[in-house]
A and B are shown apart, each in its own frame.
Chain A
């Protein structure tokens, strides 16, 4: 569930769009660069986009009697890198804005920043944090997908809070209000997304796909170089 059409004041909508634009441009360049260097990576891109497409179509009832949906951006962030997810997430958001009336064109920038940028980067950092602490691949993937999904809605809550500050408690009070709606609803859904992402990664590892591509997409199998996102650490080590 995203910020709905027209619910961000024009100035906020423009600001978030301008903030998201560089990430989309960078993501497009990464896609072109990746496909040029490794044409077969298009299948991983396709799988990442498809997973995002599938999971974001699920309207799942949650706590407090409300419903929301997983984002599916964690898998792509781990397989093809967070920058690319700005493009794939943008495609999903555009589809939903145009054909499902979920999100909107005026709020596309804000939604893209939360789902296509914040979520994937939090997922990527989470994976590397867990792996850095000696956690297994499965634990890392689970944490990455779960926290990435949750981060999407935390950012959306802050975006709404900035647009609608609480008259008494300001932006913080408003962020808590929106967080109680968005983020709280998302907690169990994010846990489900984490589990589904682990199974999806295991499927790709079982097929040899991740091991084959991870090293080529800019990250080593166990300890990727800092600042070079774009792979699944430990994908080839078999540690889990």
Chain B
């Protein structure tokens, strides 16, 4: 596995770990969203105010479906990130470098020059 891909997978693993770890350390504890708390504070500051609109109707109905949609967003982001890094790694190599067509190895040997001249 090349180094960039390994690092990106590390980012994704760390991100997932950071999101999951508190739940594992404190099972059953409900960490209320900061936006919910902010909404409560707004209502406390202005008791007569009520949200004047409630859109859209496509929002998640339950907490489980909300978590599922967030999961889809995260997986889509992670997948696209891995794909882009793989393609970037391949294209970052100069023409003729075997790694340009098969992104493998350390990821360093075919790296572009440190300061490529700007296109005129």
B-contacting residues of A (Cβ < 8 Å)? 1-7, 9-10, 37-38, 40, 43-44, 46-47, 49-62, 65-68, 95-102, 104-106, 153, 156, 160, 163-167, 174, 177-178, 181-182, 185-186, 192, 195-196, 199-200, 202-204, 206-209, 211-212, 215-216, 221, 236-238
Contact = CB atoms under 8 A, between A and B. Distances in A.
Contacts of B31: 59, 61-62, 65-67
B21 to A, nearest CB: 9
A57 B7 contact: no
Given A61-B26, A100-B66, A66 B32 contact: yes
A236 B115 contact: yes
Interface of B: 2-8, 10-12, 14-16, 18-19, 22-23, 26, 29, 31-35, 37-39, 41-42, 45-46, 49-56, 58-60, 66, 69-71, 73-74, 76-81, 83-85, 87-89, 91-93, 107-108, 110-119
Determine the main DSSP class of A at the interface with B.
helix
Contacts of A49: 80
Contacts of B6: 203
Nearest to A67: B31
Given A95-B73, A105-B55, A105-B56, A37 B112 contact: no
Nearest to B9: A203
Nearest to B26: A61
B59 A182 contact: no
Contacts of B34: 1, 62, 66-68, 153, 181-182, 185-186
Contacts of A160: 38, 41-42
A57 B111 contact: no
Contact of A57 (B26, B73, B93): B73
Nearest to A44: B88
A185 B31 CA distance: 11
B18 A58 contact: yes
A65 B22 CA distance: 10
A64 to B, nearest CB: 9
A27 B114 CA distance: 28
B30 to A, nearest CB: 8
Contacts of B3: 203, 206-207
A98 B58 contact: yes
A166 B111 contact: no
B4 A204 contact: yes
A7 B84 contact: no
A154 B62 CA distance: 30
List the 4 shortest-distance A-B pairs measured between CB atoms, nearest first: A101-B59, A6-B51, A208-B92, A54-B77
A55 B15 contact: yes
